[in-house]
């Protein structure tokens, strides 16, 4: 087991500097354009693929870093560049995590490479869990998967929403209800291969922030997939459902569902994204405060500004440490006894919103214009307190974990 440390090793520093260079030289110069266009930045994703950032190998190396810091370090640097473009680059990772968390070795080897494609033919993937009437309330999910035993196929019907890369993805990972009586414990995840009849893109959303990331509805109408597209196996699913039924009868412990397994694994990574955006806004504000003069001196000479910057820097560092701790715990198999994963996501998300707002305030009227990036960063930061579990849901998870009570 790797010792917990706040010092990156030489290899990690080299990767961090490489990512930072890509974010500074490729992502940032393109950020304003793709934010305005509100389109997937395919040329930037292709550049990331050419240098090896958008690839299965790169994310596997970071995912299996024994210190647990590979993924959060990568997320922070890319999102320091721009949240919308970075999410377009890393959005496939959520679907990949869904397969890694629930799939067999054969499924992992078969489907994850198809999610990325290669530098000459870039692909993306989508993880589809949320629905119009079931966001945080996963127990209200209506998408159904019914097993056709005669053909060894699953038939899936429903509508998913807020899906990153939804409809444009080569591979979709869809969470569906297989036993409605078990609520959130009766869910399973399915691979929808490319070109499967019955899957279509619904509404594409025009968003407040992260505009370069494609977000849309995914409509499934009598979508048929082979039995092998059930993540895991039918045998293991039947065993899990049987245990859930027994526990339900006995009023026993809660059983994690497929979507929650994915979200738990990704929450510290989302926290790292928020850290990247917060750090970027802080750095812009710091540079501005040192060069902007009012009343004959730089505005950082005023305590009102300097103290804000001190608080911003402290919050960014604290958020990073919570993310690193949770990431280290996860990779070393340490249970989140105090909901450390949710803690990291909650604090980092709220920090991003606060720090970007403070940065905008320090820049004053300039910060409110699109001539400076903090306006975009402030819009982008709002998503961190919403997706993959709102701040309210994170607080609920933390409170339930600490108290052991079914707080509602």
Give the DSSP letter string of 46-76: HHHHHHTSSSHHHHHHHHT-TTS-HHHHHHH
Pairing label, strands 125-128, 171-177: parallel
End-to-end CA distance of the chain: 37
Count, residues in the chain: 408
Taking the C-alpha atoms of residue 128 and residue 99, their distance in angstroms, rounded to an integer, is 12
Angle between helices 374-381 and 28-37 (to 10 degrees): 60
Residues paired with 155 in a beta bridge: 146, 224
**Residue 110 near residue 104 (C-beta atoms within 8 A):** no
Residue 150 CB partners (closer than 8 Å, separation 6+): none
C-alpha to C-alpha distance for 127 and 132, rounded to whole angstroms: 15
Rounded Cα distance between 18 and 231, Å, is 35
Tell me the catalytic residues.
Answer: 388
Within 8 A by CB and 6+ apart from 158, the residues are 131, 141, 142, 143, 144, 176, 220
From the CA atom positions of the chain, what is the Rg in Å? 22
Place of tokens 């930045």: 41
């Amino acid at each position: 087991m790797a010792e917990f440390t706040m010092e990156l090793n030489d290899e990690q520093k080299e990767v961090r500097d490489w990512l930072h260079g890509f974010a500074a030289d490729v992502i940032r110069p393109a950020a304003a354009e793709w934010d305005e266009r509100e389109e997937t930045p395919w040329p930037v994703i292709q550049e990331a693929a050419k240098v090896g950032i958008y690839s299965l190998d790169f994310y596997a190396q970071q995912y299996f870093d024994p210190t647990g810091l590979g993924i959060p370090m990568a997320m922070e640097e890319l999102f320091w560049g721009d949240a919308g473009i970075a999410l377009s680059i890393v959005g496939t990772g959520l679907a990949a995590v869904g397969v890694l968390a629930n799939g067999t070795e054969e499924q992992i080897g078969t489907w994850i490479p198809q999610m990325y494609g290669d530098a000459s033919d870039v692909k993306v993937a989508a993880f589809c869990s949320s629905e119009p009437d079931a966001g945080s309330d996963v127990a209200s999910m209506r998408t159904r998967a019914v097993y056709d035993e005669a053909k060894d196929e699953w038939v899936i019907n429903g509508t998913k929403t807020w899906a990153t890369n939804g409809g444009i993805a080569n591979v979709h990972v869809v969470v569906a209800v297989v036993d409605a009586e078990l609520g959130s414990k009766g869910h399973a995840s399915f691979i929808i291969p490319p070109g499967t009849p019955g899957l279509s893109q619904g509404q594409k959303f025009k968003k407040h922030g992260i505009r370069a990331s494609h977000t849309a509805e995914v409509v499934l109408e009598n979508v048929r997939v082979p039995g092998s597209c059930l993540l895991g196996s039918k045998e293991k699913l039947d065993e899990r459902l049987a245990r859930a039924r027994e526990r339900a009868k006995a009023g026993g412990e809660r059983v994690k569902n497929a979507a929650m397994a994915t979200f738990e694994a990704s929450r510290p990574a989302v926290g790292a994204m928020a850290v990247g955006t917060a750090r970027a806004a802080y750095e812009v504000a710091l540079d501005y405060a040192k060069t902007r003069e009012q009343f004959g001196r730089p505005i950082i000479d005023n305590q009102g500004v300097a103290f804000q910057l001190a608080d911003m820097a402290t919050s960014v560092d604290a958020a990073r440490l919570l993310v690193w701790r949770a990431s280290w715990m996860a990779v070393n198999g340490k249970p989140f006894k105090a909901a450390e994963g949710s803690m990291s996501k909650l604090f980092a998300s709220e920090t991003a919103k606060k720090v970007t707002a403070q940065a905008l305030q320090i820049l004053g009227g300039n910060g409110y214009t699109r001539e400076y990036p903090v306006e975009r960063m402030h819009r982008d930061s709002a998503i961190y307190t919403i997706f993959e579990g709102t701040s309210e849901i994170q607080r609920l998870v933390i409170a339930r974990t600490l108290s052991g009570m079914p707080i509602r």
